[in-house]
Structure 1
Amino acid sequence: MNLSQFEQFDLSPELLKALDQKGYVRPTAIQTKAIPAAMEERDVLGSAPTGTGKTVAFLLPALQHLLDYPRRKPGPPRVLVLTPTRELAMQVAEQAQQLAQFSRLDIATITGGVAYQNHGEVFNSNQDLVVATPGRLLQYIKEENFDCRSVEILIFDEADRMLQMGFGQDAEKIAAETRWRKQTLLFSATLEGELLTDFAERLLNDPVKAEAQPSRRERKKINQWYYHADSREHKIKLLARFVETEQVSRGIVFVRRREDARELSETLRKRGIRSAYLEGDMAQTQRNNAIDKLKSGIVTLLVATDVAARGIDIDDVSHVMNFDLPYSADTYLHRIGRTARAGKKGTAVSFVEAHDYKLLGKIKRYTEEILKARILEGLEPRTKAPKDGEIKSVSKKQKMRIKEKREEKKKVEAKKKVKIRHKDTKNIGKRRKPSGSKKI
């Protein structure tokens, strides 16, 4: 059966009305695979990158369950969604509220970075669906402020990220507290890795696997190319010119290190480009403020690390710029998937130095895309891009040089150790006697 429209999922009129208002007509690949299994109360192990509609894939069956089996008296939460970050929790809750807007279902969030008293209303009032981060929720469970006994559906969103951030044990403790549940849904960007496989095996009961990668057709909506850069300074000039010539209206610039996010944002501001930055250690209000600035158009660029930007869902991102290439091709797909959403077109460009070509090759092989180099007039690179063969030979030479330098350094350090200053020689032998000498 080809489920091409949401009506074919046997959803209640309230949910269909909300989907219609959001402009959702056709389900995505992950929704087509996951929703029917979840509505049959099967456990689901879902794999889908950001931007493929996985949030709706787990929220619709959960909300439908609450509507199908209404309880007579209000009480503690019946659906619990765990997310690795505060931003993601807030976005999932916002999406749940939009989908449930024509029903009487209550939705709440419990996250870190929010004062205890602000969560008081969650404990004191009745909730149907709660979205939470594991650390803070476990704290409330231990303090007996949160009742898990009524949870019927437990959902893990971005489980791979949760495990990477060290929330595995917390998540399992929460799962143990909700042992009376009927169903578990686990969604992850990838189903690879022993850690995730073991985690899923312990928590899921005979799950239906639902995997969906963005199709080549979807990726073709994203124009991709790269610029060869001589140095970091050259990359900054290329990025600034690119933003100007492309008239970027709402873009995300990805950097590898969090200290670079602030520095690059300030450099761009000095060049007259309105930008904000996002890094993991920022206070919650600062993070929200940076995201809101991009959404409202106060700034045109958001400079962020992958950790800070994971799970952030911003509509109408026109451009994604990889100031630093990611180490993983999977991460590259995540990044570029933030543009060209909901059938729109987008652009993703990368700024590549000589040492990045190995990563670029890995991305090309993984995505099966032909990424071509472009040049910005007046900012042509002075150095040539290495060919595939040259990259390997250069890296071997570099390894040899590093090895030789280390050996030279060891020799120099050994000579330094032999040197004895004259003032030290007069006391030699008084503190310590040779092992072979007789005791007096």
Structure 2
Amino acid sequence: MSFKSLGLKEALIKAVEEKGYTKPSPIQEKAIPHILEGKDILASAQTGTGKTAGFTLPVLQYLSDTKHPKYRPLRALVLTPTRELAAQVYDNVREYSKYVNIKSAVVFGGVNAKPQIATLKSGVDILVATPGRLLDLHDQKAVSFKRIDVLILDEADRMLDMGFVRDINKLISFMPEKRQNLMFSATFSKDIKKLAEGILRNPVSVETAPQNSTAKKVTHKVFKVDKNKKTEFTIKLIKDNNWNQVLIFTRTKHGANKLTEKLIKAGISAAAIHGNKSQGARTKALKNFKDNSIKILVATDIAARGLDIPLLPHVINFELPNVPEDYVHRIGRTGRAGAAGEAISLVCSEETEYQNEIEKLLNEKLKSNIVEGFEPTDTAPPKRAASQSKGSFGKKKRPGNSNSSEGNKAKRKPHFKGNKPTSTSGRGRTGAPKKKRF
């Protein structure tokens, strides 16, 4: 199948081919025709499979085909959970729209809002944004959602984890009911599907891989390591194997800073990226990592979504995530677009329950290895079991917003109470949106 056979116009195909893509990926094959027909989509695809292009290309085609000759109101909105993902999606939008007369922009927190306001006032067709900054701009009357034709929620499950439900509710209340809705994510939990029921109208479900699956070319390795020797073992792995590009995940911001300092002291170039870092520092660290100015990027889970690093060979879980789904997103940074990759996890005795939960999610047993001199000698019980014995563990607790400078809302169950649209066909503006109660 070709991009042309999907119904895309030559200007978009030319831009895609210039990026080196000649054949659509499975998610693109399944999603693009439905989106071009104006249908709502509930799409699940593992990371690195081209889902961004899966919604960007058909939306750009719709916007260019229906563009007003004089006016440029905001008609398509892409919401993302993190700044890094927003920037990545915007880069793709800009690249794919280079041969069509479509203006795009990106807005997120952590930077001066004045240039963003100026850009919005000049007219934008498609906007990529994080919910918090977007609401602030709306409150300042710098942006209007009255002409939104297409709403895209990218990495919707992460937005739920980060407590953005109330913000999304509020944003939707300002939009016309008659619009196309696209929900994309690497995984879909039951909560996400409930959330989708309040937004999507008769959606087409698109899935290209089993939920929570990982890329086929990713090799999983587990090393049972003493907790106090993890840093020493990480340094040994990097130096002995002469690795030049490694993404390392820690559970906390403090842990990321501490590990980065020790790597630098060991003569290994490294930088940390997490929610306490300024946007300038985060952008610089990512740029230096991509162009190989530094070998190691140490990140919290905020970076598990939105980091697109071509041909990244290695991901190390310095600490296992306490939410098993996050393992999928972490290692999804490697093995992208069909490339091979290696996911290494360092597991101490406290994390054995986390490993069991990950294996259950993946329906796969991860083979464990022990290296002489780094044997796990600590005897602390699994953290999950320890919590239960103290009576503090009722149900699995997802991480809060400590790693997010965008998500500052309390964790709540997804609960959309908006009126479902009465119309199930057509696109476009229907006038002022009906008032909704949220």
Equivalent-residue separation in structure 1 for 2:23 and 2:362 (angstroms): 25
Provide TM-score, normalisation by structure 1. Answer: 0.82
Aligned match for 2:221, one of 205, 225, 241: 225
Cα gap change, 1:324 to 1:39, in 2 (>3 Å): same
More helix by share: 1
Deviation at 1:268, TM superposition (A): 0.9
Contact 1:45 1:186 in 2 (8 A): yes
Equivalent-residue separation in structure 1 for 2:213 and 2:323 (angstroms): 22
Aligned match for 2:262, one of 264, 267, 275: 267
Equivalent-residue separation in structure 1 for 2:385 and 2:259 (angstroms): 32
Structure 1: give runs of 5+ residues left out of the alignment. 404-440
Bigger radius of gyration: 1
Aligned match for 1:318, one of 313, 318, 325: 313
Cα gap change, 1:318 to 1:398, in 2 (>3 Å): closer
Aligned match for 2:207, one of 199, 205, 211: 211
Report the number of matched residues. 391
Cα gap change, 1:220 to 1:109, in 2 (>3 Å): closer
SS in 1 for 2:95: helix
Equivalent-residue separation in structure 2 for 1:329 and 1:212 (angstroms): 21
The CA deviation string for residues 356-413 of structure 1, in whole angstroms up to 9 with x for no partner, is 222222323332334223354x534264999xxxx89x9989977x79xxxxxxxxxx
Deviation at 1:63, TM superposition (A): 0.6
Deviation at 1:225, TM superposition (A): 1.0
Deviation at 1:278, TM superposition (A): 1.0
The CA deviation string for residues 251-309 of structure 1, in whole angstroms up to 9 with x for no partner, is 11011111100001101111111110011122111111111110121111111111244
Q: Counterparts of 1:19-418 in structure 2 under 5 Å?
A: 19-179=16-176, 181-194=178-191, 196-213=192-209, 219-232=215-228, 234-376=229-371, 379-381=373-375, 383=377
Equivalent-residue separation in structure 2 for 1:357 and 1:248 (angstroms): 27
SS in 2 for 1:88: helix
Equivalent-residue separation in structure 1 for 2:333 and 2:386 (angstroms): 38
- Give the alignment's Cα RMSD to 1 decimal: 2.7
Residue identity in the other structure for 2:320: L
Cα gap change, 1:385 to 1:21, in 2 (>3 Å): farther
Residue identity in the other structure for 1:262: N
Structure 2: give runs of 5+ residues left out of the alignment. 392-438
Equivalent-residue separation in structure 1 for 2:368 and 2:379 (angstroms): 10
Cα gap change, 1:55 to 1:141, in 2 (>3 Å): same
Deviation at 1:110, TM superposition (A): 1.7
Greater RCO (Cα-Cα under 8 Å, separation 6 or more): 2
Residue identity in the other structure for 1:177: F
Residue identity in the other structure for 2:117: G
Deviation at 1:354, TM superposition (A): 1.9
Provide TM-score, normalisation by structure 2. Answer: 0.82
Residue identity in the other structure for 1:179: P
Equivalent-residue separation in structure 1 for 2:5 and 2:227 (angstroms): 54
Cα gap change, 1:45 to 1:216, in 2 (>3 Å): closer
Residue identity in the other structure for 2:375: P
Deviation at 1:34, TM superposition (A): 1.7
Contact 2:224 2:376 in 1 (8 A): no
